[in-house]
Amino acid sequence: MNGRAVAAGPKTPKEFVNGNGLSFNPDWLKRNGYDRISDLKELYPRIETEKWEKIAFPKGKIGNAIKDSGKAPGTPGELSASTKHLSWGQATGDVIGYRIYRASSKGSSFSLIDHTTSKQYSLPGPGVYQVKAVDYFGRESASSNTVQVGGAKDKPEKYDDKTKDKKNKDQKDQGDQKKKADKKKDKKKDD
């Protein structure tokens, strides 16, 4: 969260939980008086120290839980795009990551395509993109500005069975009109 390792809470979205990380339990540290040690690395055993170096230390005062402000995080900073990447500024609040949304064209609805803990994202292809910040408690921010990348269509075309049936009917009608016109031409030639 905001660049530091913290234990996930019950409302923390699972996509932002990185594996089964290890951390010293802040309550255990406090209960045993280890919260007064200036360097918690003193707790490492003298053998196989390299295995212990992967354990995260609680940041700030030991035993302080993350307090819920009840508010969604701030909107991510200005979203910009190159042909290969999106990038944006840090959002305010207890931000644990960002969700990336894509639409096929302007005016189309956005769909969630991915998430990241970084402030940049490698683009999967053309489209219209926006980003939302997500906090420790699972709240989403308002949407960033949108950016259009590459050859995103200006007018979306929904292609479902109704569209397919209409296209087939339109093609049939055009064919029928052409046949009628050809018959008229043939009739005039016969006369």
> 129-186: per-residue pLDDT in tens?
999 999 999 999 999 999 999 875 544 334 344 444 554 555 556 656 666 666 666 6
98 and 145 belong to one structural domain: yes
Long-range contact pairs involving 97-100 (C-beta distance under 8 Å, separation at least 24): 97/13, 97/15, 97/16, 97/133, 97/134, 98/131, 98/132, 98/133, 98/134, 99/131, 99/132, 99/134, 99/140, 100/129, 100/131
Last residue of a domain, one of 66, 90, 117: 66
Q: Is the pTM here over 0.75, yes or no?
A: no
57 and 99 belong to one structural domain: no
56 and 87 belong to one structural domain: no
Distant-in-sequence, close-in-space partners of 70: CB < 8 Å, separation ≥ 6: none
97 and 140 belong to one structural domain: yes
pLDDT at 21 > cutoff 50:
yes
> Residue 190 domain-assigned?
no
User: Considering the chain, what percentage of its residues have pLDDT values greater than 70?
Assistant: 67
Last residue of a domain, one of 66, 98, 121: 66
Q: What is the pLDDT of residue 68?
A: 86
120 and 61 belong to one structural domain: no
* Structural domain total, the chain: 2
Range with the largest mean pLDDT of 32-41, 122-131, 177-186:
122-131
Domain with 99 in it: 80-149
6-27 mean pLDDT = 77
Q: What is the pLDDT of residue 164?
A: 43
56 and 85 belong to one structural domain: no
59 and 100 belong to one structural domain: no
94-115 mean pLDDT = 94
138 CB burial (10 A radius; 0-12, 13-18, 19+): middle
Give the pLDDT band of residue 79 (cuts 50, 70, 90).
Answer: very high
Q: How far apart are CA 40 and CA 57, in angstroms?
A: 8
Which residue has better confidence, 98 or 166? 98
> Residue 176 domain-assigned?
no
> Residue 172 domain-assigned?
no
